[in-house]
Amino acid sequence: VTRPSRNGGRAVLLALSLAACGPYGELAQKLDVTARIAGDTWIAAGPNRATDTRVLLVGRPDPNGVAPFAFTCVADDCPTPVPVKNVPPPIGAATLQGTWSEVGSGGDATLRVAYTYATPADTGAQAGGSQRNDTPYALHLTVVRTGNRLVVSGDPQLSGTYVALSDALAGLGTATARDAACAYQVASLSIQGSETRIIGFGGGGMVQYRQPATYVGTIAGSVTVSMSGLTPPIEMRIRYDGFEDEGGVRLDGTQVTTTGWDGKGSMSSVVRFTIAPPSLDPATVTTPITGGIDYSGITLNGTASGSYHVTIDGGGTGDVSAVGAPSPSVAECLNLP
């Protein structure tokens, strides 16, 4: 069992061992239940600004005032409102999906959660990996809009001062190694959000992807998971095709993880990112930030080591360590309140 740091976790989560299949799964469970959302993405720092990030996507309301929403927490521990089987705390990432409705002008909002996802911070072949609880429930929040901010209170997991992601992304630079690291941290949020929805991710249940499966992006695109080889080298491929879980951050390319039965191995290939903040005002549209995350510097030996090599096209390059807390943090990169 591995308790990776958040940075390294994404690599370690992919390590598998065919010697174990993880805990029993849910019967007759559909893998992908995500409904597409066209709306606004908001982002906030959690209580621990160095590691906690919250992303809220709220769609356009229907005539009844009901809008689809998706919420993702990435942190050292993201406790979910309801327990998710086979995901013991600490929870490294969690996602809620459902509908959002506001009554009156006082900011009273009711979230009807249809799906609760969780990824354990502890991973490995004996772990269950990412799981989903399909039990519906409701959360009540108070939402106050102040300028370009959304102040959410009423639930400790979702509370925070959110800013529009498009505004936050507009402050990203492209020239320095720090800019490259920030681009990685922003892209990594989308990658981690996608991994939370991949059933079995980070656990022995990944062996089910001998038959590939595709999950849609919440906003656009898709991610396809496939595994080949029952004898070493075992190759796990996670391919992003125009994948967009957060407005303005798109992923393309494939993460390749090659391991033996003991889970030891390496990663390879490149995932490209396009950071293009959407804007209704053409005058404020900025040039997209494009680049790639090269995984070939990551080795898996019980835990991840090495670094992600990040390149911004026509700009800075940098290496982000797979070990330790994100540096710089997402809150620092995006100047989150």
Among 204, 253, 263, 265, binds other proteins (CB under 8 A): 204
d(CA 120, CA 264): 20
Backbone angles phi, psi at 142, to 5 degrees: -115, 125
- The reply to whether 35 sits near other proteins by the rule CB under 8 A is no
Binding mask 108-137 for other proteins (x = CB under 8 A): ------------------xxx---------
Instruction: Give CA separation, 303 vs 155, 252, 255, 329, in Å.
Output: 34, 26, 17, 21
CA-wise closest residue to 125 among 325, 260, 298: 260
Q: Which is nearer to other proteins, 124 or 248 (CB)?
A: 124
Among 48, 153, 208, 299, binds other proteins (CB under 8 A): 208
Binding mask 261-300 for other proteins (x = CB under 8 A): ----------------------------------------
Among 3, 20, 279, 288, binds other proteins (CB under 8 A): 20
- The reply to whether 30 sits near other proteins by the rule CB under 8 A is yes
- The reply to whether 26 sits near other proteins by the rule CB under 8 A is yes
Among 27, 64, 147, 287, binds other proteins (CB under 8 A): 27
Among 4, 8, 9, 22, binds other proteins (CB under 8 A): 22
Among 64, 105, 146, 211, binds other proteins (CB under 8 A): 211
Max alpha carbon distance in the chain (Å)?
Answer: 60
d(CA 22, CA 213): 19
Residue type, 275: I
Least distance to other proteins, CB of residue 31, Å: 6
Q: Which is nearer to other proteins, 85 or 264 (CB)?
A: 85
- The reply to whether 25 sits near other proteins by the rule CB under 8 A is yes
Q: Which is nearer to other proteins, 15 or 44 (CB)?
A: 15
- Rg (alpha carbons) of the chain, rounded to whole number: 19
Q: How many CB atoms sit inside 10 A of residue 299's CB?
A: 15
The HSE-up count of residue 120 (CA atoms within 13 Å, CB side) is: 25
d(CA 57, CA 43): 9
Q: How many CB atoms sit inside 10 A of residue 27's CB?
A: 5
Q: How many CB atoms sit inside 10 A of residue 120's CB?
A: 26
Binding mask 68-107 for other proteins (x = CB under 8 A): -----------------xx---------------------
- The reply to whether 3 sits near other proteins by the rule CB under 8 A is no
d(CA 295, CA 114): 34
Q: Is the separation of the CB atoms in 238 and 251 below 8 Å?
A: no
Q: By CB under 8 A, name the binding residues for other proteins.
A: 19-32, 85-86, 126-128, 199-200, 204-205, 207-208, 210-211, 213
